[in-house]
Amino acid sequence: MKKQDADATAEQAAGSTAAGEQNGEAGPQAGADGLAEAGTADVQGGGDGAASSGGAASGGASEQELAASRERYLRLAAEFDNYRKRVEREKAESWNRAQAQLAEKLLDVLDDLQRVAQHFNPETATAQSLMEGTQMVERKLQRALETAGVEEVQAEGQPFDPAVHEALMTVPAESRDEDHTVADVFQKGYRFKGILLRPARVRVKRFEG
């Protein structure tokens, strides 16, 4: 009986020891799991805060860039408007200078006409002298216009060109080769630096044979 009682007591002691070891292992493991969960929560909370700060900084930078772009646009628009006005002013000044130069040349011709009129004496002047004076003034005027860029449209004897000629009437042509050529000119035509000022008013030959 004593031996059996001793064996039972030993088994009870071993069982108590095993239960204590199991309880001890479970306690540290649960504590470690709790710390891990708390750390994860802290990390997640910190990440959300950093993301919020980064978004605010990005929004502020975008507003600054937009304001800078708007300022650059307004400055460029003002500079272009000033450039446009300056070009228009320079163009107007250049046109005025060109007109002034032409007017200056025409003043010399006007002086010649006035001298002819002042010194013309019907009692002493001859038709020959009057014609010579008139032709001199005409040549001077023509040179002034040519210098300014005015040129005469070639017409007489040329093939009829509706772009620079205006046919007022037709006359019979003697041969087919003369068909649609300018017979004579009623009024001369002129160009100014390639731009037609007025067409030459002409009479055109027409072959009807």
Burial of 64 (0-12, 13-18, 19+ CB in 10 A): exposed
Among 16, 35, 36, CA closest to 24: 16
Q: Could you tell me the residue range of the domain that residue 169 belongs to?
A: 150-209
Q: Establish if 32 belongs to a structural domain.
A: no
135 and 55 in a single domain? The answer is yes
Domain identity same for 143 and 176: no
Residue 2 has a pLDDT of 43
Whole-angstrom distance, CA of residue 148 vs CA of residue 109: 14
CA distance 80 to 78: 5
Q: Are residues 103 and 173 in the same domain?
A: no
How many domains does one find in the chain?
A: 2
CA distance 1 to 8: 11
Residues 125 and 204 placed together within one structural domain of the fold: no
- Which of 152, 169, 154 minimizes the C-alpha distance to 205? 169
Its pTM stands at: 0.53
The strand pair at 165-172 and 150-152 is best described as unpaired
User: Would you say residue 203 lies in a domain?
Assistant: yes
In a domain, 26, yes or no: no
- Same domain for 141 and 163? no
Please indicate, yes or no, if residue 15 is contained in any of the structural domains. Answer: no
Same-domain status, 125 and 185: no
Give the residue from 132, 148, 164 where a domain finishes. 148
Closest CA to 101 of 36, 44, 149, 139: 149
Give the pLDDT of residue 52.
53
Same domain, 119 and 162: no
pLDDT value at residue 4:
46
- Torsion sign, CA atoms 35, 37, 43, 46: negative
Contacts 24+ apart (CB under 8 A), 188-193: 188/152, 188/153, 188/155, 189/152, 189/153, 189/155, 189/164, 189/165, 190/145, 190/150, 190/151, 190/152, 190/153, 191/150, 191/151, 191/152, 191/153, 191/164, 192/148, 192/149, 192/150, 192/151, 193/149
Position 55: which residue type? G
Q: Are residues 144 and 171 in the same domain?
A: no
- pLDDT tens string, the chain, 209 residues long: the values are 444 444 444 455 444 444 444 444 444 444 445 434 544 544 444 445 544 555 556 667 788 888 889 999 999 999 999 999 999 999 999 888 888 888 888 888 888 888 877 777 777 778 888 888 888 888 989 888 888 889 999 999 999 999 999 999 999 998 899 999 999 999 999 999 889 999 999 999 998 87
**Could you tell me if residue 186 is inside a domain?**
yes
Do 132 and 191 sit in the same domain of this protein? no
One domain, residues 180 and 194: yes
Is 155 in the same domain as 128? Answer: no
55 shares its domain with 143:
yes
198 assigned to some structural domain: yes
What confidence score (pLDDT) does residue 22 get?
43
